[in-house]
Structures are given as C-alpha cells and as structure tokens.
Chains A and B, each alone.
Chain A
Amino acid sequence: DAKTTQPTSMDCAEGRAANLPCNHSTISGNEYVYWYRQIHSQGPQYIIHGLKNNETNEMASLIITEDRKSSTLILPHATLRDTAVYYCIVRTSGDSNYQLIWGAGTKLIIKP
C-alpha cells in the first residue's frame, strides 16, 4: 500500500504557483520523499526528492515540514505544459532493495 495521501485533483491558473500537498504521516526517519510527474501518454518523470531539508531545483521546490509528516511540491510559475499527474512517493528503507511505492497521485490541471 502507498504510504502517502494526496488530493485526487487540483486546478491552478497559468502563471501562478501550484502548491501540491502530500501527507506521509507514517514516514520513518531514514525514508526519503520523492516527486515524479506523468504527462498524458508518457512515462513518469523525476522532479525532486528530499529527506529533511527543503530542496529546490530548476523544476520545483520541495518543502518538508519539521516533523516530516507532510510536504508540499511547489511549481513557482505553472504553465499549461505542467498539466500532469503528480506522484508523491516515500522510498522504503533499506539501501540494498529499496522500492518506490506509488499511489494514485494528484491530477493537476493548469488553466489558461
């Protein structure tokens, strides 16, 4: 079973920041949070990951709460091409045989 909870769908206006929440209240101390997205008819694409600290790259920012029970993915200036399903994933612990357990994700629709 997925270890994360996400809203089923969200809308965001083009040019605005899209904030996608994720709940992972049962996360363990050494488990990372990952975000992928999947544009229609394509394979998933890696966005960002983090453990404790907030992270930023050219695609997005990841804000993890201090208790690590939830996080938010931020797309600072959403475009129509950001319309996709966004997956928040917690990596199972154990370096030698880790897995990504995927949930159903959040369908983000960017509106003009």
Chain B
Amino acid sequence: EAGVVQSPRYKIIEKKQPVAFWCNPISGHNTLYWYLQNLGQGPELLIRYENEEAVDDSQLPKDRFSAERLKGVDSTLKIQPAELGDSAVYLCASSPRRGGSSYNEQFFGPGTRLTVL
C-alpha cells in the first residue's frame, strides 16, 4: 500500500516569494492534516480536513497561509508571501475516518523542508 506522498521534499525560496506544497493521502482516507514542525520540536497542527471540508483551521495563519482539498483527495498548502520564520518542515498526514470513540492513527508523509532566505 502506498503511503502519504508529499512534494517537493525540499524547497528553498527567498522571502516574500510564494510557495506551495502538495499532498496525496492514502487512498480511502477521509481525514487529512497539515502540520508544521520546527527544528527540535513536535508537529503543530495547521489545518484538518474531513473530506473537502476544513473542520479545524484555528491554527492556520490566514493572512499568509491558505489550503485547499478539492474533491476531498489531494491537498495543497500555500504560503504567500513567505517570511524567514516560515522555515520549517511541513508534514501532511491522513487517517481513515474522522475521529470518534475509537482512535484512527495518523499516517504521515516524509514532509517538505522549506528554507526561506
């Protein structure tokens, strides 16, 4: 079974430039997450989708970050314009169904390492 696919794996841009990350979740997984991970820290949730609906975007800095999940499958996370402090690893994860009384583990992709110069 193919895992969560993310691209690109690495991205270097200058500040004020736009950047986009793409995620293809595991087939059949309804829930999709975008996380940000700074060096030496655990992941921080940016946004969670149930199918095509963003059900939790409270941690997404909406002045510069946006995300979409058209057709409830692939997802794109965009930053415009990027700032120096956005340098981090951006992780995408998916799980089989929305959270309920029984936990559904999250399957993570390898992440995209963003460097803003």
Contacts and interface: CB of A to CB of B under 8 A. Distances in A.
A49 B103 contact: yes
Given A41-B110, A95-B100, A96-B99, A46 B45 contact: no
Interface of A: 2, 32, 34, 41-46, 49, 87, 89, 91, 95-100, 102-105
B25 interface: no
Nearest to A45: B108
Interface residues of B, number: 22
B105 A46 contact: yes
Given A43-B111, A46-B105, A104-B40, 17 more contacts: A2-B42, A32-B103, A42-B108, A43-B4, A44-B43, A44-B91, A44-B93, A46-B106, A87-B42, A91-B103, A95-B100, A95-B101, A96-B99, A97-B99, A100-B106, A102-B42, A103-B42
